[in-house]
Amino acid sequence: MKLPRPSCPLCPFLLLLAATLLAAEPPLTLDQAFAQVPSYDYGQPDRALHFLELEIARAATDAPKKAQLAERFGAILADAKSTHAAKVWCCQQLLLVGTEAQVPMLAKLLDDEKLAEMARFTLEGIPGEASLAALRTCLDKFKGTPLMGAVNSLGIRRDAKSVLALAKLLVGPDPLVAAAAAEALGKIGNAEAAAALAKAELPAKQTGALHDAQLRCAQLLAAAGDAANAEKLCEQVWASKRPVAWRLAGLAGLVKVSKEKATPLVLDALGSDDELIQASAVQLTKELPGEKVTAALVQRLEKLDPKGQALLLNVIAERGDRSAAPAVAKLMDAKDDVVRSAAIRAMASLGDSGLIPRLGAMAANEKGIVQQAARAALAALSARDADERLLAAAAEGEPAVRSELLRAIAARRVPNATPMLLKAAADADESVRRAAFDALGVVGAPECYPKLVELLVAAQGDTQAIEKAILAVGARLANPADRATPLIAALKAAPTAAKPSLLRVLGATGGADALAAVRTHIMDADAQVRDAAFRTLTAWPDAEPADDLLKMAKDAENQRYRVLALRGYLRLAGEVKDEAARLKMLEAIRPIATTAESKKFLLGMLGDAPDAGALQVATSFLDDAEVRSEAAAAVLRIGQAVLASDRQAVVAAMKTLLEKCKDEAVVKQAEALHAQALKPPQAGGGSVPEYDKKRSDGMKADVAARAPKGYKVVCYLNCGPDASDGEKGKPTLRVGEANAYRWPGADIRHGTCFFTSDDVNFEATGLNPRKSYQLGFSWWDCDHDTRAQSVWAGNTKLLEKTKLPSGAKGEKAVEKVVPIPQALTAKGSVRISFRNEAQPNAVVSEVWLLESEADGPQGEAGAPAPAPVGGASLPREGAKKVLIITGIDYPGHPWKQTAPILADILRKDARLAVDVNDNWKAALASPKLADYSVVVLHMMNWETPDPPAETLANFQKFVADGGGLVLVHFACGSFQKWPEFVKIAGRVWNPKMRGHDPHGKFAVEFTEVKHPITEGLKPFETLDELYTCLDGETPMTILAKATSKVDKKDYPMAFVLEYGKGKVFHSPLGHDARAFAAEGVGELFRRGTAWAAGLPPVAK
């Protein structure tokens, strides 16, 4: 039976039938599905069950069909051959389609120990007397937990006939059963149940059920019309000693049943010392409406403590009962500010417009929360004539008060206020004028725009308020062109004194006409006008005048203007969102700064608009001898300002500065700033910038440029700002439930992330089954050195637990690409997760999806291996295979950390293909060892016996037959009981000698510089243990040494020898991750390994 697919997903009127994904297997029929059920067991294929769960709901459209289906489930249940799992599942399905017909069979199952629970469960869900009767029999049959289940079911079914039996259980020996009985009685809630509950007592851990049941009874009794018993029950509860919360619930119940009885109790409770009782009582008054209660509340109000007063005032306000107004008004003068504010606010709904003068005075003269309350009350005053009275009151009186009233007019959006406001705008008092203009800005009718312009022209003194008002009203003009026109006209006719403000407003208005008008005034006779025109250009709302400004920066008549123009231009540049365009603008300035003076100005100005672009331009001046010190100062200053938003740029700039400038003071500051920029940001991060498509697209293009051959980036998320990417019908990537975060001071790309404590997951949907996919991502442990994560697609691990690069140690984010098995993506969607495998949580900075260009399965072989960017490169064809053997060492040697590090170091040579095997015993014994060109021994069998002789022989043969061998650090301590080892390794650990210098810095120098391994290498410093314990007499060539700080003797740090046909490179360096950090160490191991593999140490 094939079901049609929905055609138009958004067609509302189509009756859409269910669509299950068309699987590779043929669709099931009802009969086929039922046939598969009896043999179903946990962990077995379950298509039939899935099918039936949905099918029965759809098929049971009438009673006969339902009965038929129920019978089929019943038959499976009754069949002894059906599995337990099948029977349990059938019981669940009977909840949908079961009828009385199944009750006898289910009742029989109550005697089957294995199925009694499920049978009870199902009986609960089948309506009708028959199932109830069966459930009742359980009260005698069952004990313990199953008995509780039966009691629960009878309670859910509200079976009055069970009350007697339940009452017996209520006083029985088992408190858990008693609690269940109490709960059931509460649901039944008739008078007998109430009576039984009233007398009951249960231990502390079961009182919850009892108390709730008693309250429920009260509710149900009241609903059934038995008010008397309901009241009694509630009063009893309220009169109990404790717990307080339950008592209050009793009081609340009483309020519902009998307001009359409850009111005095609630009123009394208002004065309680217990805050919970007081606050709850206040809320309860909401359910006691009416003037009488309001009067009683008002009476109580004065006697309460300030806390209670504040709470009660809020609630009185909500009652809206104006009879409370006089008492509340008194409290407007209370001593306690909190009470005062509550009273003032309450008057907004209780008071009449006569309050306006007093509220105005408070708003003008009070401070803090009282002033806020007065303003809020004026804004919310509900009296019908409030607007009218406000307009009248604001027309005269004390200026400070008038200002507050004008403010309220704006807050209330009083209609038709414009005429009155225009009058006030011409008032003698400046503060009134200002408030009037502010209000006009909010509510002024668009028609008053020309009048405002007039007022601006006529104004004396400070015109800021008018200018703001004009702009605000202008924004409300239906036709934007109408904004500039009156201003331009006014400009032509205005007296000189008025022109500057007109120009300013024109500037803020923007637009081509306005720009043209402003331009003509650049050459005005009056200096102030020229000045205003100038400044307006520099403050233009868009980048239109950029070229004007550039020209002015070069040609303006006096230096001040050139400086202003430059400043304006730089500001405009600073607002350009596109980084490339901004940089272009900054670079356009450079040529006009031809004299030392102008360059210095430019550098100074760059400091005023600090960003990465400005930093770059400033840095470029470091080569200019004329202004080097100013440039250095600018770089430092801008770097300091940019530190919070772009640490990477600062790091780069400081590096350049240190290279180019040798001034001691500068160097000191630069080093300090550099160190600061490397340091992880401190607490206080969080706020993630908003999604910016352009920015994300730029990052997407960047990762696309590095996409593996044959793949393109189809989705990209900059984790944090971006939640999803992709279009309908195409691959889409979207984050699951995760938190977005930005590390303070970190860049937007890698410094924003998604995080969760367990795993950050994404859904990739809309995948094409014909293509293959890879997952790209970048991650960064910005503020710790502890995070490690694994990567999964569905339940398949794509990447083993891997430590993230640590920002705390100055490491940068790392990118990885891993293929996703096509079997997983062929379904069309897959869930990607990054799982926390360490501390403190899982983070990911970017995620992207790569789709193959070609069709067809590509499998693992076709997809390139993951390669960290900036780290190891991909091995070439014909690369020599290298095996790092590890998996055991002295406890202080973190081989789990260092083995991967060493692997990456070696992989930087593309001629080496490196594998890591941590099963050292198996690896050494394996015949597959011969497949490798070099074995790197990165282990020591600490407190573990040497492997069997055959294993050692296998290893020995490998080297003797021509295999290369590299020994790292404590490998020299391996196989202490094997005499041949010293001949292979050259030197071995002698426990009787002094082990090593204390861990610290020392210099490694080359004793043999003509050897291919060391040719051209310079001495380097490293942080490690200087081994002094190597012993043996095998002939070997020492390549490098270090001098012990303890005994001043020299010890070998690298040496080579041959064993049979095999070449051996041995270095005792490499105690931990830090020991591999110095570039020289990596270089040495790389060359040594290449040499042992038979390659020239350095690629040609």
Partner 1 sequence: MGHAPSRRRFLGAAAAGIAAPYFVHGSVLGAEGRAAPSDRLRTGHIGVGGQGSGHFGACVGNPALQVMAACDPYESKRESNRSKANARYAEQIEKGTFKGCDAYADFRDLVTRDDIDAVFIASPEFWHALHAIWAMRYGKDVYCEKAMTLTLYESQAVRDTVRRHRRVYQLGTQQRSDRNFRFAAELALNGYLGKVHTVKVAVPGGSAGLPIAQPKPAPPGIDYEMWLGPAPWKPYTDTHCSFNWYFIYDYCIGWIGSWGVHHIDSALWGAPAFHTGKVEIEGTAKFPEQGMGNCSYSWRVNLLAENGQRMFFTDDGGQPHGVRFEGDQGWVHVVRGGIKAEPESLLRLSLKPADIHLYESHSHHGNFFDCIRTRRDPVSDVDAGFRATVTTIIADIATRVGRKVTFDWTAERFVNDDVANSYLRRPMRSPWTL
Q: Is 828 in the site for partner 1 (CB under 8 A)?
A: yes
Q: Is 242 in the site for partner 1 (CB under 8 A)?
A: yes
Residue 687 CB, nearest distance to partner 1 (Å)? 10
- The DSSP annotation for 164-194 comes to HHHHHHHTSS-HHHHHHHHHHHHHH--HHHH
How many positions of this chain bind partner 1 (CB under 8 A)? 119
Cβ distance 873 to 907 under 8 Å? yes
CA 339, 344, 348: angle at the middle one, nearest 5? 140
Select from 87, 345, 803, 983 the one that contacts partner 1 (CB under 8 A).
345
Q: Which residue type, as a one-letter code, is found at position 927?
A: P
Cβ distance 677 to 641 under 8 Å? no
Residue 164 CB, nearest distance to partner 1 (Å)? 20
Select from 36, 152, 669, 845 the one that contacts partner 1 (CB under 8 A).
152
Residue 19 CB partners (closer than 8 Å, separation 6+):
3, 4, 5, 6
Select from 81, 481, 795, 1048 the one that contacts partner 1 (CB under 8 A).
795
Residue 71 CB, nearest distance to partner 1 (Å)? 16
Residues in region 78-107 near partner 1 by CB under 8 A: 88, 92, 95-97
Residues in region 725-744 near partner 1 by CB under 8 A: 728, 732, 734, 736-737, 739-740
Q: Is 371 in the site for partner 1 (CB under 8 A)?
A: no
Q: Which stretch binds partner 1 (CB under 8 A): 389-397, 718-726, 780-788, 952-960?
A: 718-726
Residue 1028: CB atoms within 10 A of its CB come to 18
Q: Which stretch binds partner 1 (CB under 8 A): 8-16, 188-196, 393-401, 596-604?
A: 8-16
Contact mark string toward partner 1, 27..66, x via CB under 8 A: ---------------xxxxxx--xx-xx--xx-xx----x
Residue 756 CB, nearest distance to partner 1 (Å)? 6
Beta strands at 1030-1031 and 1037-1043: parallel, antiparallel or unpaired: unpaired
The beta strand positions in 723-836, using DSSP E, are: 724-725, 732-735, 739-742, 752-756, 759-765, 773-779, 788-793, 796-803, 814-820, 830-836
Cβ distance 711 to 731 under 8 Å? no
Give the SS3 label for residue 977: coil
Q: Is 715 in the site for partner 1 (CB under 8 A)?
A: no
Which conformational region is residue 527 in: left (phi greater than 0), alpha (psi within -120 to 50 degrees), or beta? alpha
Helix, strand, coil percentages for the chain (3-state, nearest 5): 55, 15, 35
DSSP state letter for 866: P
Select from 1, 2, 7, 21 the one that contacts partner 1 (CB under 8 A).
21
Q: Is 146 in the site for partner 1 (CB under 8 A)?
A: yes
Residues in region 615-644 near partner 1 by CB under 8 A: none
Q: Is 125 in the site for partner 1 (CB under 8 A)?
A: yes
Residue 1075 CB, nearest distance to partner 1 (Å)? 32
Residues in region 285-314 near partner 1 by CB under 8 A: 307, 310-311, 313-314
Residue 927: CB atoms within 10 A of its CB come to 9
Residue 297 CB, nearest distance to partner 1 (Å)? 16
Contact mark string toward partner 1, 374..413, x via CB under 8 A: -----xx------------------------------xxx
**How far is CA 990 from its chain centroid?**
54
Q: Is 768 in the site for partner 1 (CB under 8 A)?
A: no
- φ, ψ for residue 412, nearest 5 deg: -85, -5
Residue 241 CB, nearest distance to partner 1 (Å)? 11
Q: How far apart are CA 245 and CA 207, in angstroms?
A: 13
Select from 185, 209, 217, 565 the one that contacts partner 1 (CB under 8 A).
209
Nearer to partner 1 by C-beta: 275 or 961? 275
Nearer to partner 1 by C-beta: 767 or 1026? 767
Cβ distance 870 to 888 under 8 Å? no
Q: How many residues does the chain have?
A: 1100
- The DSSP annotation for 18-67 comes to P-----SSPPPPHHHHHHHSTT--TTS--HHHHHHHHHHHHH--SHHHHH
Select from 2, 7, 23, 998 the one that contacts partner 1 (CB under 8 A).
23
Residue 445 CB, nearest distance to partner 1 (Å)? 15
Select from 37, 265, 282, 393 the one that contacts partner 1 (CB under 8 A).
282
**Which of 929, 978, 936, 986 lies closest to 954 in space, CA to CA?**
929
Residue 117 CB, nearest distance to partner 1 (Å)? 6
Residue 561 CB, nearest distance to partner 1 (Å)? 35
Residue 1043 CB, nearest distance to partner 1 (Å)? 45
Nearer to partner 1 by C-beta: 444 or 639? 444
Sign of the dihedral defined by the CA atoms of residues 269, 274, 280, 286, in that order: positive
Residue 281 CB, nearest distance to partner 1 (Å)? 9
Question: Exposure of 169 by Cβ count < 10 A (0-12 exposed, 13-18 middle, 19+ buried)?
Answer: buried
Q: Is 878 in the site for partner 1 (CB under 8 A)?
A: no
Residue 420: CB atoms within 10 A of its CB come to 19
Q: Is 688 in the site for partner 1 (CB under 8 A)?
A: yes
Residue 1066 CB, nearest distance to partner 1 (Å)? 44
Residue 1054 CB, nearest distance to partner 1 (Å)? 45
Q: Is 416 in the site for partner 1 (CB under 8 A)?
A: no
Give the SS3 label for residue 132: helix
Select from 83, 283, 768, 790 the one that contacts partner 1 (CB under 8 A).
283
Residue 464: CB atoms within 10 A of its CB come to 12
CA 809, 814, 818: angle at the middle one, nearest 5? 145
Nearer to partner 1 by C-beta: 7 or 558? 7
Q: How far apart are CA 531 and CA 1080, in angstroms?
A: 62
Beta strands at 739-742 and 1050-1059: parallel, antiparallel or unpaired: unpaired
Nearer to partner 1 by C-beta: 240 or 559? 240
- The DSSP annotation for 242-264 comes to S-HHHHHHHHHHHHHH-HHHHHH
Q: Which stretch binds partner 1 (CB under 8 A): 263-271, 367-375, 636-644, 1056-1064?
A: 367-375
Residue 196 CB, nearest distance to partner 1 (Å)? 18
Select from 444, 607, 721, 964 the one that contacts partner 1 (CB under 8 A).
721
Q: How many CA atoms lie within 13 A of 703 on its CB side?
A: 31
Q: Which stretch binds partner 1 (CB under 8 A): 237-245, 449-457, 860-868, 1036-1044?
A: 237-245
Contact mark string toward partner 1, 1020..1059, x via CB under 8 A: ----------------------------------------
1070-1095 burial, b at 16+ Cβ within 10 Å, e below that, comes to bbbbebbbbebbbbbbbbbbbbbbeb
Strands across the sheet with 846-852, in order? 711-718, 846-852, 773-779, 814-820
Select from 201, 224, 691, 1009 the one that contacts partner 1 (CB under 8 A).
691
Q: Is 478 in the site for partner 1 (CB under 8 A)?
A: no
Nearer to partner 1 by C-beta: 120 or 504? 120
Q: Is 342 in the site for partner 1 (CB under 8 A)?
A: yes
- φ, ψ for residue 778, nearest 5 deg: -130, 145
Q: Which stretch binds partner 1 (CB under 8 A): 334-342, 599-607, 656-664, 804-812?
A: 334-342
Residue 824 CB, nearest distance to partner 1 (Å)? 11
Contact mark string toward partner 1, 481..520, x via CB under 8 A: ----------------------------------------
Residue 827: CB atoms within 10 A of its CB come to 12
